[in-house]
Structure 1
């Protein structure tokens, strides 16, 4: 008899544990006078991230290094007007070393830039996390020597 009660208790605990792990998919029934209702709980998909040089996932970062090897090009003072599942749009400043006469003795120059991130895909390091795979810079006023008015980079995974 005691063995049967223990098995029943264990089975009930296991069922409750599984229900807790799975998460409640419905709200408890409403007031009977108001009518029964079931409300589905929607899981919000994670927003895409921007993966930096150190494999750190960031959402709406204030800065971003473009030249990971030497730091000679970076985005600073970033302000994002949009960041959603398809794209991110913002403005900032691209600080670029002119490398004249050579990079160690060069001067960092600042250029206003419009930034767009898009083409989200699953991040290899964390497959459940989407990350933007393309970054586009638009230079509305001056731009670094040798740069086009619009520059597009494929981002690392």
Structure 2
């Protein structure tokens, strides 16, 4: 990348990577998709340092992926819960694709730690390309076609 901050890039991938700038961001999202909302739960589940977690949560909030909502448990001070926004929920497909790739190419002997399933039927799910009518398109038939807006210096 030259002369352009990733957040200002014409490339959507570069802008996305500015928002999801390291592995901790993806792991925070994994926990959020599992229902975690509290700072202490994120810290405990991930084994992440508090300063690193604070920075990642702030970035995810700044990019509109998470939102903060105040809550107070009886006898405790007010704290922030971190909730997925619609933009954050849209990243479920991204995390699902990363997890699917990891299961296919970096498999562990004990098998997957998470199964992607239909919440209603329990049927297994795969992350795929689909056209506007919902027809699955083989990944070998999916193409990334440059447009006039393609970044020349990014």
Both proteins in one fold, TM over 0.5: no
Structure number having the greater helix percentage: 2
State the structure with bigger RCO (CA 8 A, min sep 6), 1 or 2.
2
TM-score scaled by structure 2? 0.22
- Which is greater in Rg? 1
Structure number having the greater strand percentage: 1
TM-score scaled by structure 1? 0.22
